[in-house]
Amino acid sequence: MSPDWKDKLGGIVYSTNPDFKIESEQESEIETLKPQNQDLRVSLDRKQRGGKKVTLVTGFVGTKADLETLGKKLKSKCGVGGTVKDGNIIIQGDFVERIIELLKTDGYKVKRSGG
């Protein structure tokens, strides 16, 4: 067996089900679209954040690594903190206009959405 056989079992030790089959749960990551094919939405959000404003970038289609790279770039260009969570980029503070300009400069299709 290959060295990762325990991973393939997914925590199953023994099954009495005669039809039991080990299913591979490998996620096939979506290929990252080119910037001109992305349709990003940028909005200002205050919901469930203790009244603090954050700039939210949604609509990115691609791998998690590419999303994190874009998030890191936006955070450094704005000089603030933030995170990448649930397929969204969250930047601390109100940077909607600046992020729209940065994304447009990189060739992304960007729209401001309500929020």
Residue 12, domain member (yes or no): no
84-113 as b/e, with b when 16 or more CB fall inside 10 Å? beeebbbbbbebbebbbebbeeeebebeee
Residue 24, domain member (yes or no): no
| Count of Cβ atoms closer than 10 Å to residue 33 Cβ | 14
| Count of Cβ atoms closer than 10 Å to residue 68 Cβ | 13
CATH number at residue 74: 3.30.780.10
Residue, of 23 and 26, whose pLDDT is higher: 23
Residue 10, domain member (yes or no): no
Residue 40, domain member (yes or no): yes
pLDDT reported for residue 114: 76
Residue 42, domain member (yes or no): yes
Share of the chain above pLDDT 70, in %: 77
Mean pLDDT of 53-75: 94
Residue 4, domain member (yes or no): no
Residue 6 falls in which region: left (phi positive, over 0), alpha (psi -120 to 50) or beta: alpha
Which domain covers residue 61, as residue numbers? 29-112
pTM: 0.72
pLDDT reported for residue 7: 65
pLDDT reported for residue 16: 77
78 with 98: CB under 8 angstroms?
yes
State the total domains in the chain.
1
Residue 1, domain member (yes or no): no
Residue 105, domain member (yes or no): yes
Q: Express each pLDDT in 74-114 by its tens digit.
A: 999 999 999 999 999 999 999 999 999 999 999 999 999 87
Measured between alpha carbons, how far is 12 from 15 in angstroms, rounded to an integer?
7
